[in-house]
Amino acid sequence: MKHKNGFNPLSRNSAHRRAMHRNMVTSLFKFERVTTTKPKALEVRRTAEKLITRAKVDSVHNRRQVARFISDEAVLAKLFTEIGPRMKERQGGYTRIMKLGFRTGDAAELAILELVDYTLDTEGKGDKKKAAKTGSKKAAGNSAPAKKAKSGKSTDAPKAKAKESGSAETTAEG
């Protein structure tokens, strides 16, 4: 039970913990997905949720309050222009923690901390791979005639270019 435990200090002093929170929250808003250990994800989620709640209402006061945690102005602008309005109708629960398993080496429990409306762009990558495969098959099937056509043209073209450049060189020298 977590009674009377305000937060997990994560075995760090206050300055290190504060810097880590700031960096992780900035990375979360920048990439909308962060892989970290489960205890860190649980702690960073608390901070991120509060900042997203602030970002839902774009005012000078809220921007200054959030700017205490986020020093990167591009990420701050993204939070107030993209992420905040996306979460406008949602009443909390802006982030999701998915367990990944255990890290090799120290067996720390890993988790992915991401925004709820984050969509993984796997379809675009799969389409590119399929296009590359079909394109390579087409290129492999057409490569022999293309090489013959190129080789036929390329043998004549360099000779012609060489003759032209040779005549130009002789005229330039003479």
For residue 124, the model assigns a pLDDT of: 61
* 8 Å CB contact between 99 and 110: yes
For residue 119, the model assigns a pLDDT of: 80
The whole-model pTM stands at 0.67
Q: What percent of the chain has pLDDT over 70?
A: 70
Distance, in Å, from the CA atom of 84 to the CA atom of 63, rounded to the nearest integer, reads 11
Domain boundaries, the chain: 14-118, 121-174
Class of domain 14-118: alpha beta
Per-residue pLDDT reduced to its tens digit, 62-78? 999 999 999 999 999 99
pLDDT band at 162 (very low <50, low <70, confident <90, very high): low
Q: What angle do CA 109, 113, 115 make, to 5 degrees?
A: 165
